[in-house]
Chains A and B, each alone.
Chain A
Amino acid sequence: MATATKDGLESDIVKFISQCRKKEHPESYLIAVLHKVQEKYGYLSQDHMNEVAQRLQVPTSTVSGVATFYHFFRLRPRGKYAISVCLGTACFVKGADKVLNAFQTELGIEMGETTADGLFSLENTRCLGVCALAPVVTINDTVYSKVTANQVPELIRQVKSGKNVEG
């Protein structure tokens, strides 16, 4: 059985793909496989997508077609700290746009970008389902509720100094 080549997919993902190949409608597991790849590597690199295509036996064009269609998939690496501002309705009504502006000003990047030092990237989500705590920001897996624009500089300082958030 194939184990991982130097830059190739690691063996647990390779194993998952070969399990999928044995099931009914193997090609239907493409999205599940891409989720696993992104979870492991943080994003979908071209090499990894090619390898997925080859191992799952679906055309490369299908893989990239799917990867680009769904917003959840990232085609570029994200920063060490991924800041995600919820722009769902409840958060919007409670001023999430101002929070987002504050992050953009403070970090000097736009939505979807990563700071030059690779430390922060700025993303958005549409409703994490905790609307009652709006506006909500997540930094990696930590959820911050009722965030105001004024708190943003301090929040970034805290994260930089390694407090509160797992890297």
Chain B
Amino acid sequence: MGQAFDFYQILFDQHNHAYEASGEKDKIIIQVGAATCEIAAGADPVAREFEKLIQASGRKDILLKRVGCTGRCAREPVVGVFVPGGMPVKYEQVTLAKVQTIFQTHLQQGQPVAELMLDKKTGKFYEYVVILCSSGQCSPSGGKQLETKLRSRLHARGVDPQSIRLFHGGCMGLCPAGSKGKQRVMMVFPEKILYLFHNDQELDEIIDLQFARHQTAEKYITHADFITEQFFRLYGDVAFFNKQTRLTLRNSGLVDPESLSDYIRNKGYEALARVLDGDPGFVIDEITRSGLRGRGGGGFPTGVKWKNARTYSNDPIRYVVCNADEGDPGAFMDRSALEGDPYIIIEGMTIGGFAVGAQRGYLYVRAEYPLAIKRLEMAIENAGKHQLLGKNIMNSGFDFDLEIRLGAGAFVCGEETALMYSIEGKRGQPRIRPPYPTQAGLWGHPTVINNVETWANVPTIMLFGADWFSRLGTEKSKGTKVFALAGKVNNTGLVEVPMGTTLRDIIEDIGGGIPNGKQLKAIQTGGPSGGCIPASRIDTPVDYENLAAIGSIMGSGGMIVLDEDDCMVATAKFFLEFTQSESCGKCVPCREGTLRMLEILERITCGKGTHEDLDKLERLGRLIQKTSLCGLGQTAPNPVLSALENFREEFIQHIDEKRCAAHQCQQLIRYEIDAEKCVGCTLCARRCPVSCISGKAKEVHVIDQDKCIKCGECYNVCKFDAVMKN
């Protein structure tokens, strides 16, 4: 190994020694999230309260740790209590009162508090938790078969199958070449042992030793180094997590994002060390062979982009850029990644800089993410102090520096040419390509622009190899994708799954389905550039090609679940309003065309639309797609066109019947007072902002429909359910 690797080993040993010396390993760890979402949910006072209790109790064996977001947003703040050797315990929606209970009962008396645990409302304790890998690699025919087998064998061996909680997990990334269908992987808690076996006989031996005799089946334990190991060890026993494959988010929720030491001890900077001792061309080849494609929406092959930038000219000045503008107004993947594990992005960019021959990189971050910015600033400074950025990185002779540039609230600046103007301090208006940024980018020099998640994949690929990475995913879409799951779904949050996972798996298994027993109506992906996928397509495997085939796009990872209460016309209008107001105004089709489309949609949602309007929408939409200068205009009509394609009857209902079945289009709602139910309490009449409700006290009230502005106030205030919404 070369200079850089020597440097890395010394660095690793330093941090590892410091860790061992601190005795942290033998301590009880209380983990509290410290991402924007967790803080909004009240994580700060919870952490302070734990700190106070630890101090007051005088216990030196308990350590409070702040970590990034695990992505379990709907249950935040989430608190983890990890007792060495014990089952990892996570508590949900922790309040100050719950802190007291958890501290007294779990930490002082050693009794985990079942009823407060994350996703474990049953309150039942299991002797063991078992996760069977049910990914396509381990179980080409699905995991159910193995489950049945396992349960019957447990039974035969006299073990109560009910004492074991069984999950079907996602790929842990352990699969060597040619292993498809030949090996099985199973993780057992509380020991957190990973078993690897090949046939029924081996399985029987494991059952006998592990579950019947409560010993470990040493022979089948694998100590293979796998990337999601730490994550599975801490979170593997929770259904929301064990279906996922966390590559880019592997450290989020595990490490203290402000600690370089934590990152280094979790395989951080090993990839960079190996890369710096080698040849830049090798990096580009590996990234190309891995099949990694851009995660910012377009899906362009990353290796090809890098090669273009490296070989375009012999310009000595080159740049790399991280696009952290995260413009899709319903997405938060990049924010979580930056807040939860900033170093992985920095390491990825440094590797990229080396590969393309850049001396400087820029992180373009939206100003709305102050915490992400703070974490990045800190990480860049720390990396600089440890010779991981700046001059002569890891003694390799490679010089590279990073700088943060803030956006200022313009969606169009996520577009790469606009983004470059913005970094240069100008108005962010896109320009025609070619020349592409790889040819003439920042200040005219070759520039590689990649999305946050794209960069986050790079260290892992360089560490585990292109072959390993390309085994995850589908034929043309490799690796994993992070989705920000939101809208009408129980488990809103961040989800990272292998490409090719079906929408059903994401929404039902991980997302926990639709709340309040409502019906799924559509899934919106790709934000304002994407489309609505009707519920009937829920079995579609998610990758670039499949989503495009059903009229949507992968996009950057926003996934909004819509149910029967959502009006598709209003949703389409919402997205168009967004793109319309974000149009930079440089070209006519986008600026004026979207305005015309919006006017038509406005008419339809007011019940004044016509059938010709629908044709007009389609014609205009296609024209805008074809003639706009940049991606914003080219994709702006997509939400409308895909809604028209899949939910045309809803538009027609608005036009012909002047009715919005979802009760979302306010102008089409009629509020009426039910004479049977009204007791004449006068409340609605007093609250109506336009005084259009009449009636004497204790008599039935009536709404003057001509004056009513459909504000819904009467409906909201009536205590007798007498106001009807039709």
Contact = CB atoms under 8 A, between A and B. Distances in A.
Interface of A: 25, 27-32, 34-35, 58, 62, 65-66, 69-73, 87-90, 92-94, 98, 101, 105, 125-134, 136, 143, 145, 149-150
A29 B716 CA distance: 50
Nearest to B412: A69
Contact of A73 (B408, B411, B484, B571): B408
Contact of B368 (A25, A29, A129, A131): A129
B332 A126 contact: no
22 contacts: A25-B425, A27-B424, A31-B408, A31-B422, A65-B427, A70-B407, A73-B409, A87-B329, A89-B575, A90-B486, A93-B487, A93-B488, A93-B562, A126-B409, A127-B330, A129-B331, A130-B332, A131-B73, A132-B37, A133-B37, A149-B716, A150-B716
Contact of A129 (B37, B405, B524, B562): B37
A117 to B, nearest CB: 21
A28 to B, nearest CB: 4
Contacts of B538: none
A92 B423 CA distance: 31
A28 B492 contact: no
B181 interface: no
B408 A132 contact: no
A130 B37 contact: yes
A90 B487 contact: yes
Given A89-B574, A92-B574, A128-B368, A66 B326 contact: no
The 5 closest A-B pairs by CB, nearest first: A89-B330, A132-B73, A70-B408, A72-B409, A129-B332
B304 interface: no
Nearest to A71: B409
A88 B367 contact: no
B416 to A, nearest CB: 17
Given A66-B427, A94-B487, 13 more contacts: A32-B406, A66-B425, A69-B429, A71-B408, A72-B410, A89-B328, A89-B330, A127-B331, A129-B36, A129-B369, A130-B40, A132-B73, A150-B716
Given A90-B330, A90-B487, A131-B332, A143 B40 contact: yes
A93 B524 CA distance: 11
B443 interface: yes
A48 B575 CA distance: 36
B330 A32 contact: no
B74 A132 contact: yes
Nearest to B339: A129
B41 interface: yes
Nearest to B492: A132
B716 A31 contact: no
Nearest to A69: B427
Nearest to B488: A93
A98 to B, nearest CB: 8
A25 B524 contact: no
Nearest to A98: B712
A94 B422 CA distance: 33
Interface string B46-81: 000000000000000000000000000110100000
Contact of B36 (A34, A89, A130, A149): A130
B424 A89 contact: no
A27 B423 CA distance: 10
B335 A129 contact: yes
Contacts of B484: 131
Most chain B CB within 10 A, of A25, A32, A125, A126, is at: A126
B408 A72 contact: yes
A128 B369 CA distance: 7
A12 B425 CA distance: 20
Contacts, number: 141
Interface residues of B, number: 57
Interface string B5-46: 000000000000000000000000000000011011100000
Contacts of B73: 130-133
A29 B403 CA distance: 11
B406 A133 contact: no
Contact of B410 (A34, A71, A90): A71
A61 to B, nearest CB: 11
A66 B427 CA distance: 5
Contact of B40 (A69, A71, A136): A136
Interface string B364-375: 000111000000
Q: Find the residue from B411, B427, B428 having the highest chain A CB count within 10 A.
A: B427
Interface string B672-692: 000000000000000001000
Contacts of A149: 716
B408 A89 contact: no
Nearest to A68: B427
A32 B405 contact: yes
Nearest to B408: A70
B437 interface: no
A126 B580 CA distance: 14
Given A87-B329, A126-B578, A69 B41 contact: no
Interface in B179-209: none
A30 B425 CA distance: 5
A89 B560 contact: yes
A7 B411 CA distance: 34
Nearest to B713: A105
Nearest to A150: B716
A167 to B, nearest CB: 19
B566 interface: yes
Nearest to B75: A132
A88 B423 contact: no
Nearest to B411: A126
Given A126-B411, A131-B484, A131-B486, A93 B560 contact: yes
A88 B330 CA distance: 5
A84 B273 CA distance: 45
A101 B711 contact: yes
A30 B408 CA distance: 11
Given A105-B711, A126-B329, A35 B427 contact: no
A90 B493 CA distance: 11
A108 to B, nearest CB: 11
Contacts of B368: 72, 125, 127-129
Contacts of B214: none
B257 interface: no
A150 B566 CA distance: 20
Contacts of B566: 93
B443 A25 contact: yes
A103 to B, nearest CB: 13
Nearest to B360: A24
B698 interface: no
Contacts of A73: 408-409
A132 B558 CA distance: 12
Contacts of B36: 128-130
A136 B41 CA distance: 11
A13 B361 CA distance: 25
B527 interface: yes
A27 B409 contact: no
Nearest to A88: B329
A35 B560 CA distance: 32
B426 interface: yes
Nearest to A105: B689
Contacts of A27: 424-425
A67 B527 CA distance: 27
Contact of B425 (A31, A126, A136): A31
Contacts of B716: 149-150
For A30, A88, A145, A150, the residue with the greatest tally of chain B CB atoms inside 10 Å of its CB is: A88
Contacts of A35: 367, 406, 408
Interface in B561-611: 562, 566, 571, 574-575, 578, 584
* Residue among A35, A92, A101, A149 with max Cβ neighbours from chain B (10 Å): A92
Contacts of B524: 89
A149 B423 CA distance: 39
Contacts of B367: 35, 72
